[in-house]
Chains A and B, each alone.
Chain A
Amino acid sequence: MEYLLHIVVVIEIFAILAISLDLVAGQAGLLSLSHAAFFGIGAYASALLALHGTAGYLTEMVVAMATAIAASLLVSSSSIRLHGEYFLIATFGFQLIVFSVLNNWTAVTGGPSGLPGIPGASIFGWQLRSALDFAAVGALQLAIVYLVVRLMVRSPFGRVLRAIRGDEAFAQSLGKNTVGVKVAAFSASAALAASAGTLYAFFSSYIDPTSFTILDSVLILSMVLIGGSGTLHGPLIGAVVLVTLPELLRQVGISGELAGNLRQLIYGAALPIVIAFRPKGLVGRSGLDGRFGAK
């Protein structure tokens, strides 16, 4: 039971990550490889605050989100105007750099050893202790993220995002400040990723840089693309599939290490295949370039 709840929490974390990435990658067509970096920034910000200050879950989350927004502005201020490929490269660089900083700035982040012993958190007096507690909080968080992203997608703001993916110049010709909109969406996406970081930090009570690598960014992107972008349940399903996959492999007797690599092989190989044969992913509404169905 404990084991199952553990998996549920991990699913919730990655579902939040995938849905928040879909806001920019799926809706606006802004592919990003720095999502794990924002996840990590959120986790480390929360952990550091808990270790050196107070241990209130909500406070930690707010700080985590604010830090991630600031970091995202660093990226977007310099890179948001770039063509899609170059923006992807800029986020790729940012991801590698964030990992490098987390891994090398031992004085602050603990370096490769990470931050152990993160104190327990509480929400308005409710002490978060058991896996069940976290599964419940995670469910609530996921529901809120789902709702927030859904509201954004269905609003006039969402319409502008999709227009940016469809034809940015056209959107500009209709009076849309596409740069401002992209920056806003990217910041929101980073903040939501950071909120997942808070959940992760307190749930694990120990974090190290190996959870926030470029491979994790690719994994999250795969959840969005394989699950299917353009809808909200696409990334959700992608998260469920890719989180449970190694667990299922473990049930069949494959070791944890091998299971992880096998999953990586599967989603890595799945990316070009999905792009070639099923751009909509499993349940998505549109491919990366906004087209319906394989061209």
Chain B
Amino acid sequence: MSGCSAPERGVPALRCVGLEKSFGGVLALADVTIDFTAPGVVAIIGPNGAGKTTLIDGISGFLRLDAGRCYVGGRETTRLQPYQIVRRGLVRSFQDVRLIQQESALDNVMLALTRQREEALLGALWPMRHKAEEELNVTTARDTLRFVGLDDNAESRASDLSYGQEKLLALACCLATRSDILLLDEPVAGVHPDTIVRILELLRRLKDDGKLVIFVEHNIDAVRQVADRVIVLDQGRVIADGSPGAVLARPEILDAYVS
């Protein structure tokens, strides 16, 4: 599924060039140009309305940009459909947690895990062919749930999970897509402090596994704990980009976030 072959040396894992988007006269993104390299944990912060979710929507193909280009592993993804971008190795999560509520946690992860060729309609008529793969997927799915700490809830329906568990499940689904780049929209917002710790630990481990995690957050504390790079967006423009120590020390940045 991870269609991106090992990225060549020197090619950024994700590159955004000159991204622009307006909504009826309101500029949400203005000439945003950023290079991201893997592995890493990058935080994108900024006041409300700064364009953070728009950026994620634009990169992941859910929003058509007015101008600019995106490249994943050196290959352009600007006009691709969301599902095509996932197959190139970039996955995103949603600010309002999205899951298939009526299905179990395990089924949600299985959904993320199964590959295109296993899901073909005609393939359904020969259940024997993919039986082995399906069983392997179940094992991998359970392992993924164990990685995020939800193995006890594998059979629970998603709608029965707590908010924090839903966020963990959404993260598990992102992982199951085998993507090397994860765009997470407020992964720790609104969850219990214990869950925050768990999620941040998972993000660190993902970086250790060689992945690139880019996350939008308002929780500056979380950002300080786990990010190795902070990008600040304000009114659609990048106004700061550097290490957390450098960026978060600037008074004007902190002012925007007095908390």
User: In the complex, are there CB atoms of A and B closer than 8 Å?
Assistant: yes
Residues of A within 8 A of B (CB): 148, 151-152, 154-160, 162-163, 166-167, 169-178, 181, 184-185, 188, 286, 290-292
A contact residues around B82 at 8 Å (CB) = 172-173
Are A172 and B102 CB-contacts (below 8 A) given A151-B124, A157-B120? no
B contact residues around A163 at 8 Å (CB) = 100, 103, 111
Residue B92 at the chain A interface, CB threshold 8 Å: yes
Looking across the interface, which residue of chain A has its beta carbon closest to that of B61?
A172
Size band of the interface chain B makes with A? 35 or more
| Complex interface bits, B166-193 against A, C-beta within 8 A gives 1, otherwise 0 | 0000000100110000000000000000
Residue pair B83, A166 in contact (C-beta under 8 Å): no
Residue pair B123, A157 in contact (C-beta under 8 Å): yes
| Complex interface bits, B93-115 against A, C-beta within 8 A gives 1, otherwise 0 | 11000111111000100111010
Residue pair A156, B98 in contact (C-beta under 8 Å): no
Are A173 and B124 CB-contacts (below 8 A) given A156-B118, A160-B119? no
Residue B91 at the chain A interface, CB threshold 8 Å: yes
Q: How far is the CA of A166 from the CA of B98 in the complex (A)?
A: 10
Enumerate the 3 nearest inter-chain pairs by beta-carbon distance, A residue then B residue, closest first. A175-B86, A155-B124, A166-B100
Residue pair A156, B83 in contact (C-beta under 8 Å): no
CB of B182, distance to nearest CB on chain A (Å): 11
Q: How far is the CA of A151 from the CA of B119 in the complex (A)?
A: 12
B contact residues around A152 at 8 Å (CB) = 121, 124-125
A contact residues around B31 at 8 Å (CB) = none
14 pairs from A and B in contact (CB 8 Å cutoff): A155-B123, A157-B119, A157-B124, A159-B107, A162-B100, A162-B102, A169-B98, A171-B111, A172-B82, A174-B111, A175-B177, A177-B116, A290-B102, A292-B102
Residue pair B110, A167 in contact (C-beta under 8 Å): no
